[in-house]
Structure 1
Amino acid sequence: MVKLKHIAKACKSKNAGPFHITLDIMFDKPALFEQVRETGVINAKLIAQLYGVAEADILFTEYAPALAWKATLPRRIPSGAVGDTDVYGAQQHAPLLDIEIPLDIAA
């Protein structure tokens, strides 16, 4: 097993308007992207579990030409509302980093 943070080129988040967050997982090596893709680990169900939202509320897209996955999901608190601690949505990617991928790759 290897953690996503050790093999992905980037895992990031950002606002997709005031009510949604977009998560991006990107790779820079086509062969590694394919290996991860073949495991089937990265999917809407996993994102729903990590972020505590209904799977039906997630727009999940795999975009192989860019070696990437994108997921858009509702924010728990709208951007800038009372209680919001991340106005830009830039720190919401942390749960992605520890996703375990069943590959035998040295970190």
Structure 2
Amino acid sequence: MPKLSEVTRHVRSKAAGPFWVSVDVMFDGQENFDRYSASPALSAESIAAVYGVDAATVSLYPIPALKVLKVSYPRKSPQGGVEERDMHSGQQYTYLLDTEL
């Protein structure tokens, strides 16, 4: 089973406002997008388990024309709060890189 990092050209995360994080999974071709963007390993339930949030709050937005899967989920605490460890959410994507598809 390939890992996410092996079938993508780029994965990035960023703040999507003070209460949300967005992860962009950019597949390295149409074939990999078609094969893996709907993988159970990238389902709302799986993403929720990785980030410790409720699956009902995870949103998935496949964008076939760009070969991108956009994932949005709520932060555990607001941006800039006392518990904040990644203010711009730029490191959150790393938790998904070794995900087996």
Q: How does the TM-score come out when normalised to structure 1?
A: 0.85
Q: Identity across aligned pairs (percent)? A: 34
In structure 2, the residue matched to 1:56 is: 56
1:9-57 deviation per Cα after TM superposition (whole angstroms, max 9, x unaligned): 1111100101110111111311222222464432212111111111111
Q: CA, structure 1 residues 99+82, in 2 after alignment: closer, same or farther (shift >3 Å)?
A: same
Find out whether 1:12 has 2:6 as its counterpart. Answer: no
Pair 1:39–1:48, CA change in 2 (3 A): closer
Deviation at 1:83, TM superposition (A): 2.1
- 2:91 corresponds to which letter in structure 1? Q
Normalising by structure 2, we get a TM-score of: 0.89
For structure 1, which runs of at least 5 residues remain unmatched after alignment? 102-107
Matched residue count:
101
CA distance in 2 between partners of 1:7 and 1:16 (Å) = 25
Structure showing greater radius of gyration is 1
1:76 partnered with 2:86: no
* Residue ranges of structure 2 left out of the alignment (5+ in a row): none
Pair 1:24 & 2:2 matched: no
